[in-house]
């Protein structure tokens, strides 16, 4: 057997760049978006690169990848890339081939869009397909929401771009906390302690240390060699379960989805911002989560109607005020909306007379 290779790192990107990019690397002058889903980049040398952006599920098969490869061979000399939001970009230089490429994608059921003032693909996590702590599935709600908002994927109808994201539990692997609209799976049940298993499976000090709110204590009955959970202090994060499998905190009936809104990452006009809680809980309703779909559509429509040109969702809310946002979207304001988690809470309390009735 040949020597075992390790630590070689990823292949160098240059071998994957189409010739036009190698020739114009760092020389791009400007871009246009002649139609939804089609980007045209023009170099100082006059060279023109076209990128056709297409949406895909995040969970895909090698069959699908091979299909996409066939399209890229036929129209793009075998060059393509993916965006940070799981979109596929077909790279080509011959403008004449765009129509054929679009037709081929259409035939394959692959939508074109995700540019400019659109709703692009939803960043999301694994859910019931692969993770041990989700409250909800990921691919399913994403599919349901994208079906509903499909008209916004291939158009530029909105006041600004709208980024949607989903995380299936509050660990928020997908970093959904800076999205225009974020769905976040939430548990609402404190862990059930399986004392018999805990004794054998878990190390008590690390289990106690895992809890961000300090809700876990050694069990008063020392002979149990177990822990107790102060339920009112528990925020159902599942950290303890990650440390100790004898502390499951799932509850089929109480789990659900929270909606947070108004975050962004770019610096354009206003600074990057966190998403803030809009709806603390919507029941977990597979396979198509209709209440979640409706809630997101409602917020999107109200935003599209109310926002000024170029205003991101959070910028619109900051202008009108959160109290107006709740009124306009007809969302009830609850105790859950008022932050009481650690040091960031105070920052959110209003210390001025600047508010509306």
Residues at the interface with ligand HEM (CB under 6 A): 31, 83-85, 87, 120, 125-126, 130-131, 163, 171, 173, 175, 206, 239, 242-243, 265-266, 268
Nearest-approach distance from CB 2 to ligand HEM, in angstroms: 29
Nearest-approach distance from CB 327 to other proteins, in angstroms: 26
Among 131, 194, 273, 320, binds ligand SF4 (CB under 6 A): 131
| Count of C-beta atoms within a 10 Å radius of residue 131 | 16
Residue count at the site for ligand SF4 (CB under 6 A)? 27
Alpha-carbon gap, residue 72 to 322, rounded angstroms:
46
Q: Are strands 164-167 and 38-43 parallel, antiparallel or unpaired?
A: unpaired
Alpha-carbon gap, residue 167 to 260, rounded angstroms:
11
Among 31, 95, 192, 199, binds other proteins (CB under 8 A): 31
Alpha-carbon gap, residue 184 to 165, rounded angstroms:
8
* Long-range contacts of 144-147, Cβ-Cβ distance < 8 Å, separation of 24 or more: 144/287, 144/288, 144/289, 144/290, 144/292, 144/293, 145/183, 145/289, 145/292, 145/293, 145/296, 146/55, 146/121, 146/122
Cβ proximity to other proteins: between 16 and 355 the closer is: 16
216 binds other proteins (CB under 8 A): no
| Rg of the chain taking only CA atoms, in angstroms | 24
Q: Which does 16 bind (CB under 5 to 8 A by kind): ligand SF4, ligand HEM, other proteins, none?
A: other proteins
Cβ proximity to other proteins: between 9 and 232 the closer is: 9
205 binds other proteins (CB under 8 A): no
Q: Which does 72 bind (CB under 5 to 8 A by kind): ligand HEM, other proteins, ligand SF4, none?
A: other proteins
Nearest to 141 by CA among 127, 131, 130, 153: 127
39 binds ligand SF4 (CB under 6 A): no
75-83, 94-102, 225-233, 327-335 -> range binding other proteins (CB under 8 A):
75-83
Helix axes 62-76, 98-107, angle to 10 degrees: 160
Mask: binding to ligand SF4, 206-235, rule CB under 6 A, as x and -? ----xx-x-xx------------x----xx
Q: Which does 120 bind (CB under 5 to 8 A by kind): other proteins, ligand SF4, ligand HEM, none?
A: ligand HEM
249 binds ligand SF4 (CB under 6 A): yes
Do 25 and 16 meet the contact criterion of CB atoms below 8 Å apart? no
58-66, 237-245, 291-299, 336-344 -> range binding ligand SF4 (CB under 6 A):
237-245
Nearest-approach distance from CB 310 to other proteins, in angstroms: 7
- The runs of H, that is alpha helices, within 119-253 are 139-148, 150-153, 195-201, 204-210, 239-243
Which tokens in the block code for residue 216? Answer: 């876990």
123 binds ligand SF4 (CB under 6 A): no
Residues 318-357 that bind ligand SF4 (CB under 6 A): none
Cβ proximity to other proteins: between 66 and 222 the closer is: 66
Instruction: State the Cα torsion 88-93-99-105 to the nearest 10°.
Output: -20
Residue count at the site for other proteins (CB under 8 A)? 125
Alpha-carbon gap, residue 44 to 256, rounded angstroms:
52
Using CB under 6 A, list all residues that contact ligand SF4. 125-126, 131, 133-134, 167-169, 171-173, 190-191, 210-211, 213, 215-216, 229, 234-240, 249
């Amino acid at each position: 057997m040949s020597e075992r290779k390790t630590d070689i790192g990823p292949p160098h990107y240059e071998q994957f760049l189409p010739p036009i990019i190698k020739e114009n690397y760092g020389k791009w002058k400007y871009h246009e978006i002649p139609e939804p889903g089609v980007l045209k980049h023009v170099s100082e040398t006059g060279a023109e690169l076209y990128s056709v952006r297409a949406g895909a599920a995040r969970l895909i098969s090698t069959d699908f990848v091979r299909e996409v490869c066939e399209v890229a061979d036929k129209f793009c000399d075998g060059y393509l890339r993916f965006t940070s939001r799981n979109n596929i970009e077909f790279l080509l230089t011959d403008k004449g081939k765009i129509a054929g490429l679009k037709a081929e994608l259409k035939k394959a059921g692959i939508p074109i869009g995700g540019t400019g003032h659109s709703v692009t693909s939803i960043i999301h996590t694994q859910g019931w397909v692969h993770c041990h702590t989700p409250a909800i599935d990921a691919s399913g709600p994403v599919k349901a929401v994208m079906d509903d908002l499909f008209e916004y994927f291939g158009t530029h109808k909105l006041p600004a771009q709208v980024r949607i994201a989903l995380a299936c539990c509050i660990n928020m692997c997908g970093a959904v906390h800076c999205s225009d609209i974020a769905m976040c799976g939430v548990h609402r049940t404190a862990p059930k302690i399986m004392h018999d298993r805990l004794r054998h499976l878990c190390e008590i000090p690390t289990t106690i240390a895992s809890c961000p709110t300090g809700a876990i204590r050694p069990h008063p009955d020392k002979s149990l060699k177990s822990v107790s959970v102060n339920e009112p202090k528990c925020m159902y994060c599942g950290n303890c379960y990650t440390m100790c499998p004898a502390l499951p905190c799932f509850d089929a009936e109480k789990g659900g989805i929270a909606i947070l809104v108004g975050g962004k990452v770019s610096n354009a006009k206003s600074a990057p911002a966190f998403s803030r809680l809009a709806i603390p809980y919507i029941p977990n309703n597979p396979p198509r989560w209709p209440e979640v779909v409706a809630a997101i559509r409602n917020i999107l429509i109200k935003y599209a109607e109310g926002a000024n040109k170029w205003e991101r969702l959070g910028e619109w809310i900051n202008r009108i005020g959160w109290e107006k946002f709740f009124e306009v979207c007809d969302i009830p304001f609850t105790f859950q909306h008022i932050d009481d988690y650690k040091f960031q809470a105070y920052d959110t309390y209003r210390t001025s007379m600047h508010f509306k009735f």
